[in-house]
Structures are given as C-alpha cells and as structure tokens.
Structure 1
Amino acid sequence: MSHTGTRPATAPSRLAGPRMTGRQKLVLVLLLGAQFMIAVDFSILNVALPAVGQGLGFPLAHLQWIATSFALAAAGFTLLFGRVADLVGRKRLFTGGMAVLGLASALGGIATSPEVLLTARVLQGLATAAVTPAGLALLTTAFREGPLRERALGLNGALMSAGFTAGAVLGGLLTDLLSWRWAFFVNVPVAALVVALAPSVITDSRPAVRPKLDVPGAAAVTGGLLLLVYGLTRAGESGWTAPATLTSLLAGAALLGAFLIVEKRSAEPLVPVRILRRRNVIWGNAAGLIAFLTETSLVFLLTLYLQEVLGYSPLATGLAFGVLGVGTVTGGMLGGRAVGRFGNRRTLVLGGVVQAAATLSLVALGTSGGWIALLLAATFAGGVGNMLVIVGFMVTATSGLPDEEQGLATGLATMTQQVGITMGIPVMSAVVTARTGAATGPDAVLSGVSAAVLVNAVLVLAGAVLARALLGRPDARSRAGRAGG
C-alpha cells in the first residue's frame, strides 16, 4: 500500500472511524475500571502510612514495608502470571484475581495487627500480578492491531497513570474524612462489580494449543525479580553498599541470568528467545521502564519538596498532584492519535523530549510558595509527555505478535511497569541522600531534590535518545494494520 497515494483519501475516514461496537465499549469500561483500581492501590496508602502506623503499632522504620510487600509480590509474579493467563484462560485468571483483590482488601480494612495487614498487602500484590497482564491481554485481543487498539491502550495508560495520582488524593481524603481503613474498603464494591459482570461481558482468549508451564524458568525469573526488588528497596533504606543490598542485587542478577540460560534450553520456555530478540519488545520495554521509573519517582521527589520545603499537609500535597493527573489523562487521550499519525518511535521520542524539558525546569524551584505555579505547569506538561511515552511503549511492546503470545507480551510490559515503579524511589532517594549528607532543613532538602530532579531529566532524555536510535521504523505489516484498523 502506498502512503503517498492513499493518505489524503484515508485521513478523513480515520478521523471518523473505525468505531467500537457496543460490546467492545462494555469490555473497555470493565477492563479499564479494573486497571484504574489497581493503579490506585499502588499509591493510595502512601499518604496514609503515618496514620496506619499509629493505628496498628507499626514502628516508623518498618512503615515502608506496607508498600514494599505489595510491590514485591506485584513485580515478582507478574511475568509468571502473564504466562499462566495464556495457559488457563485470561478471563478465568482476571476474574479470579479480582475476587482475591476484593477479599484481600476487606482483610486489610479489618486488620488489627501488622502481620494481618502485611498479609493483605501481599495478597493484593499477587492479585495485581494476575489481573494486570490478564486484563491487558484481554484488551489487546478484543481490539485488532490498529487505531482501535491504539485508542484502547491510550485510554488504559491514561487511567493507570491517573490512578497512581488519584490514589494519593483519595488516600488523603479518606484518611482525613473517615479512616485509613477505607483505603482498603473502597476496593471491595468495585471488585465485586467486576467479578459479577466479567463472565457475561468478556470473551475469553487463549492459545489453540496449551503449552506446559516452564517451571524452572518461572522459579528463576520470579526469584530473581523478588531479590532485585528487595535489593532496590534496601538500597533506598540502607544505602547501595550495605551487605543486604549488594547480596540481594547480585543474587537477583544471577537468577535472571540463569533464567535466560534456562529459556534457551527449554522446549517450551516461559519467554521464547525469539520474542526477546524482537527489537520492538526489548527496546519498547526499555523505554517503558525509564518512563515509569522517572515519573513515579518524580512524584516522590515533589512530595518531599511540597511537605519538607513548602510545608504542605499530606492532603494539600495529594491535591497538588491533581494537575499531574489531568496531564496524564490528556496525554493518554492524545497518545493513540499520536501513534496513528507519527508512529511508535516518533511518539516515544516526542513524549520523552516534552517530559525531559518539563522535568528539567523543576531544577529552578525555590523555597518560597510562589514556585508552586512552576511546579503545577511543569507537572501538567510532564504528565502529557510521560503518557505519550507510555502509550508508545505499550503499542510497541505488543505489536506484531499473534494473539496466543499477547499474554506473554503484556506480562513483560506489566513487569516493566511495576519494576520501574519500584526502582524509581530507591534510586532517587539515594541521590537525595548523597547530596544532602547529614544536613537537614528546607535548604538541604531542596538541594537534594534539585540534584535528583536533574538526574531524572537526564534519564528521560537518554530514554528518548535510545528510542530514536534503537527502535526501527514500523514494518509494512504494522503500517497496514494501522491503516486498516
């Protein structure tokens, strides 16, 4: 198909269509609602941690494990569950995961001891590891490769990123107005509604031939990811040179290396080597990793700035991030159109440049309250850019693969997302600590935050450069898919 000859004639029709069917709209609402709820869970307890600690007697030094226990399970088991979804059926795993999420949330809401709460958070993390890749695979198989899938993935990315921001706002509101327990209870009716509607609304998808589960590969990758996430968490807590940090990171890297060796020799690998050789899968996920690492850690850095430098309350801090949420939703709405018009690579580069420029401007923040205007403008623009990258990443990492491998592709993409979210805060926390040393006070915190923001901007720009250099141009099949919808 020649673009030169057809583009003027097809441009108006692409703006008008193709259109989603009524059933596709129902599927989209159900799946996006579930993904939004999961994204909210990542951050809803962050603002409420001090209140949770007081309510259950958590020592201050151990409060971070409320978030870490969730992240360990979510990141560590995502790739495994992405493959399990292909084996047992995506709808079955999605619905079962949502049921577990609802029950775990109820358990967290009634918890009377730290042990019960941490058990609930681990179960929530496991449910997230099951629901997210299964839901994404159901989404990508419900919409054929082209404009409709790009639009659906754009909305999915926007709502997931907005959910991360909304979690901070909702957590502050619920804790101030009711109790931290409602940060758990709010999930229960949503999960129940999804479980009730999913069997009749969602059409299942699974491979025609059901392969065996690669148990050695699953054990190696799950153990490696658990140790990697644990090591990154300890790095933010105890430093990068602490024995526990180094041991965990090295052991995790060794297991991930062993995983690659196992996959090359396995007759039915968890991750076929041919997929790992695909440029769009490898470098698309690399761009996504940087996008999630930088934006979620920037929220952490700006939380330090707003509370420790400007003196904002947790609730006011959460509300300030509402502008970032608007930016991410805007970027998600534009992302699918940008991919359709410019292609995956250009969308990734454009979004990365916008995010890097917006982040770099935050180096100028000072100690007076008037700097909030710059923060709001920059977070809005950065949110738009970040979502362009995320939509470009999701389309890139799942394109050109048959339906039977979509669970694997979305499992890899989800793992990238969750590892990026987990990595960001320890890395940026280490930069802040290295810059401030033993100094305290608003000026010291501002100095550390500024240094970390600069590192953050450089990472975003590096990701854009890598995407420009290493992601190939879309092949003829991808272009035809986008043109045909």
Structure 2
Amino acid sequence: MSGPDSTANRAPQKAGSGAILAFVCLGQFMVFTDVSIVNLALPSIQEGLDMTDVSLNYIVTAYATVLGGFLLFGGRLADTFGRRRLIQIGFTLFALASLVSGLAENGPTLIAARGVQGFGAALITPAALAILTNTFAEGPERNKALGVWGSLSGIASIAGVILGGVLADGPGWEWIFWINVPIGLGAALFAVRILPESRAEERSQFDSLGAATLTAGLLLLIFTLGEATHVGWGTFRTIGSLIGVAVLLTGFIVIESLVKSPMMPLRIFRLKTMRVANISAVLVFGTFAALFFFASLFMQNAFGYTPLEAGFAYVPLAVSVAAGAGIASGLVAKFPPRNLVMAGLVLAVVGLLLMWRAPADGTYLVDLLTPFILLGLGCGIVFVTLQIAAFVGVSDEEAGVGAGLINTSQEAGGALGLAIIATIAYSGIDSEMEATGGDPELIMNIQESANHDAFLSGAVLGVIALLVVAFLMPRADAGASHAEDDGKNLNETDLAPAESDT
C-alpha cells in the first residue's frame, strides 16, 4: 500500500469545514444537473441546429459516457497529483466546454463539447468527494456531510430537468450551457482560497496501462449499452462490443493484480459494506435513470404537458428527495445502512407500481403526485445511505479511488438500467406504430403501453436491488465500531480474506 494521506503536508486551511462542504457540493450539483438538463431542451436544440433524431441522442450520451468512463481515472489522478488541483482543472474544462456548447452552430460541435464537459466533470466529482471524506472524520460528522452530498445526486438530476424546461422555453437552449461558465470559472479561481490540498504521500509510479484499459472498457460498455437500444442486442455490433468489454475489463483485473502500484487496489473490494453498496448503486441508479427518462416522456406524450409544465411537475419529487435525504442523514447513525436502503427501495418500488397503473387520461393530482412523493422519499434515503456505506473503512489515502468507484457505479448503473428497460419498453414498437395508420388514439395507446412496461421493469429492477441489499449487506450499524472493524481488516492483511466477509 502507499503511505498515509498527506494531511499533515497540506497548505494552511483558509476556510472552515462548512465552507469546504458548500464548495464541493456546488461541484456535485453542477455535474449532476448537466446529466439531465438537456432532456426537456432537446426539441429546441434539434430545431435550432437541424439535427436528426439519431444524432440528438448523442447530446445526452456523450456527456454521460465520458463522465462514467473517466471517473475512476479522475479519482486516481486526484490521489496522485492533488485533489484541489484536479478540481481547478475540472472546473475550468467544464466552463470552457459549456461556452463552446452554447456557441455551437452544428451538431458535431455540440456533441464534442459535451464530451469535454463530461471529462471535466469526471475530474471534479471524485476529487471533491475525496476532499469531503478527508475533511470530516468517519462517524456522525462524516455521515451528515455525506448525507448532504448524497442528496444532491437526486435533487440535482431533478433540478436539471426543471431548469432545462424553464430555459428552453425562456431565453433559449443555449443558456442551459452558458449558465455554467461564470460558475465554473469562479469556482476554479476560488478553490485555492477554500480548499486544502491533499494527495497520497508516497508518489508511486502511475498505473498508466491500468488506467487506459479500465477507461477504455468502461467507455465501450456505457457506449454499447446506449447504442443497443437503437441497433438491437442481438446484432454483431452489440455482441462484438460486449466481448471487447469483457476482454478489456478482464485485462484490467490482471494488470491490477500484477503491477506494484495499481490504480485501483483490488484489496479495496474486501470491504463488504463498500462492495455491496457499489453493487446496489448499479441497480438503484438504473432504476431511477429509467424513471426520470420515461416519466418525462409519459407526461409529455400521455398527459400533453409542455417542457415547462413537465419540468415543474417534478417539483414535489425534488422536495421529497430533499426530505428523504434529511431523514436518512438523521437515522444513519442509529440504524444499519441495510435497513435504511431497504426502506427507501420499498418506497421506490411502490411508487413505480403506481406509475405502472397510471392511465394516459388520468390527472396529475390523482395519478402522479402520490407516486412522485414516494419515489422522491425513496430516492433521497437510498442515495444518501449508499454514499455513506461506500466509504465505510476506506482509508484517507484511497478516498479518491472510493469516490471514483461509487460514482462509476452510479453512472454505469444508470446507463445499464436505461438501456435494458428501454429495450423492453420499445420492443416491437416500430411495427406497432406503422400499423396505426397515423390514428392518434392508437398511437396514444402504444405510447401508454410502452411507458407502463418501463415503469414495471423499473419496479422489477428495484426488487432485485432490494434482494441484494437484504441478503448481502451487513446488518451492523454504520457507526464507528463497524467502520473500524472494516478498516482493520483491510489494513492488517492484503492477501487473507477479511473477517467482514465471513
């Protein structure tokens, strides 16, 4: 293992822990807002840049693909070269790419700029989360801070949808990107005044081959999952790409087991709570990514909402996410993470089942408000608790790796869940649409059925996540004793099985 985190070598801290928390949460909010902010603005962008339906999809996937693929790489860069430095570089790249996105005069320019945005976000997120975990001691203090951080994943995603609808119907779609420019550049400038610098003390050789192999594997996986919705799961292109993913990820594991200074030490997976939290995150974020995508379509297609109306319809869901996050932050020191995650997933599954039964001719108050509240509460509880569980027993020196891993699980899970659920929902829909002869009522019925299939599939994915948590996540509290046991097991031996796994 590398040496201890260079906490003692940090520059004098110029801001308190509250200011540090606010700063890193700003970065988190901006990153996750831009995951969803384009959704309701896509029709306006398509009209403004004369883009095809196929190319329009890449405005969303370019950002998410690069973000998900480079998160672990960004985490190791932060641990090696300095977390504050990576945050400054990330904010600068993000702001400049946002400027180019708003100025884009054609689709390829916008798609390329969105990819650079995703790379900047991949530098910001793991570095910011590592600084947070190093600023707050493990236990109640860190749990509260991670509660705030974790809640932003859900709140920012919903806020992005709302803000995108407001800006697209107001000053124009360009402003969904330009709004990031002053925020990003200002954050890069003020980071040196607020954030302490930290890195792993021993500057070991950087694992370039491991970084390249893992990043390539994740990029190919996330891209393949997104494309499978359009080209089909049984095509040579999809199957060949998945084989390529398996080869790259297997190669990464072999490399990490052989090199002296691995980018992602495999011993970190001996922490059972952390391991199950990441597996759960893949399933949970797949469920919620599909929810936000299909709920937006359902409200516009079935309920006839404008983008602005659909955006504001999410407000109760956003409020519920905040409430759920507050509940989780207050209870996580008193109850095991397992119990809280299970409770949140039960709420989410019930909400999805209610959405499954919502008719196309229904009303918002009767058919959507209650499931939105349940889904928001479940989302807030689960997001916060998984963020906390993912850092139980992780040492300060590997905080960047832990941060990159949980965020990679979230992004990969979102892409995987959406790809699978979209494939189920849209199976055979093209031929069904052709058979309607343009009849509006028949078209409405097909769209309603597709969205209902999606909500039911999301509920099934949520049940699978519930079973994983119920049977695999440790029953121990998230308190100091459990964290210390987990950390002790990791540090005492790099080769023997950890006691927490038995």
TM-score relative to the length of structure 1: 0.91
Tell me by how many angstroms 1:425 deviates: 2.2
Tell me by how many angstroms 1:258 deviates: 1.4
Are the structure 2 counterparts of residues 172 and 207 from structure 1 closer, same or farther at C-alpha, using a change threshold of 3 Å? same
| Contact preservation (8 Å) 1:223, 1:255 | yes
The answer on 1:469 being equivalent to 2:462 is no
Residue equivalent to 1:254: 247
| Contact preservation (8 Å) 2:74, 2:122 | yes
Residues 187-226 of structure 1 aligned to structure 2 (within 5 Å): 187-226=180-219
Residues 71-470 of structure 1 aligned to structure 2 (within 5 Å): 71-370=64-363, 372-434=365-427, 436=429, 438-440=431-433, 441-470=443-472
Note the alpha carbon deviations across 1:170-210, whole angstroms, 9 max, x for none.
11111111111101100011112212221111112211212
Are the structure 2 counterparts of residues 180 and 212 from structure 1 closer, same or farther at C-alpha, using a change threshold of 3 Å? same
SS at match of 1:64: helix
| Contact preservation (8 Å) 1:435, 1:447 | no
Residue equivalent to 1:10: none
Tell me by how many angstroms 1:444 deviates: 1.4
SS at match of 1:196: helix
Tell me by how many angstroms 1:114 deviates: 2.1
- For 1:165 and 1:74, the matched residues in 2 are separated by 18
- For 2:380 and 2:128, the matched residues in 1 are separated by 19
Tell me by how many angstroms 1:476 deviates: 9.4
Residue equivalent to 2:28: 35
- For 2:29 and 2:255, the matched residues in 1 are separated by 35
- Which stretch has the larger CA shift, 445-454 or 161-170? 445-454
SS at match of 1:213: coil
Tell me by how many angstroms 1:160 deviates: 2.3
| Contact preservation (8 Å) 2:150, 2:384 | yes
- For 1:240 and 1:109, the matched residues in 2 are separated by 34
- For 2:371 and 2:238, the matched residues in 1 are separated by 34
Structure 1 runs of 4+ off > 6 angstroms?
A: none
Tell me by how many angstroms 1:95 deviates: 1.3
- Which stretch has the larger CA shift, 444-453 or 410-419? 444-453
- For 2:275 and 2:31, the matched residues in 1 are separated by 25
Residue equivalent to 1:66: 59
Tell me by how many angstroms 1:253 deviates: 2.1
SS at match of 2:281: helix
- Which stretch has the larger CA shift, 101-110 or 361-370? 361-370
| Contact preservation (8 Å) 2:393, 2:483 | no
| Contact preservation (8 Å) 2:271, 2:393 | no
- For 1:391 and 1:320, the matched residues in 2 are separated by 23
- For 2:162 and 2:477, the matched residues in 1 are separated by 42
Aligned residues: 462
Tell me by how many angstroms 1:100 deviates: 0.9
- Which stretch has the larger CA shift, 154-163 or 136-145? 154-163
- Which stretch has the larger CA shift, 461-470 or 128-137? 461-470
Are the structure 2 counterparts of residues 296 and 476 from structure 1 closer, same or farther at C-alpha, using a change threshold of 3 Å? closer
Tell me by how many angstroms 1:278 deviates: 2.2
- For 2:64 and 2:128, the matched residues in 1 are separated by 18
- For 2:363 and 2:195, the matched residues in 1 are separated by 49
**Structure 2 unmatched ranges of 5 or more:** 1-13, 434-442, 485-502
- For 2:169 and 2:216, the matched residues in 1 are separated by 38
| Contact preservation (8 Å) 1:435, 1:448 | no
- For 2:283 and 2:94, the matched residues in 1 are separated by 28
CA-based RMSD of the aligned residues comes to 1.8
- For 2:36 and 2:478, the matched residues in 1 are separated by 41
SS at match of 1:47: helix
TM-score relative to the length of structure 2: 0.88
Structure 2 counterpart of 1:478, which letter?
Answer: A
**Structure 1 unmatched ranges of 5 or more:** 1-20
- For 2:121 and 2:206, the matched residues in 1 are separated by 20
| Contact preservation (8 Å) 2:392, 2:483 | no
- For 1:150 and 1:438, the matched residues in 2 are separated by 51
Tell me by how many angstroms 1:437 deviates: 5.7
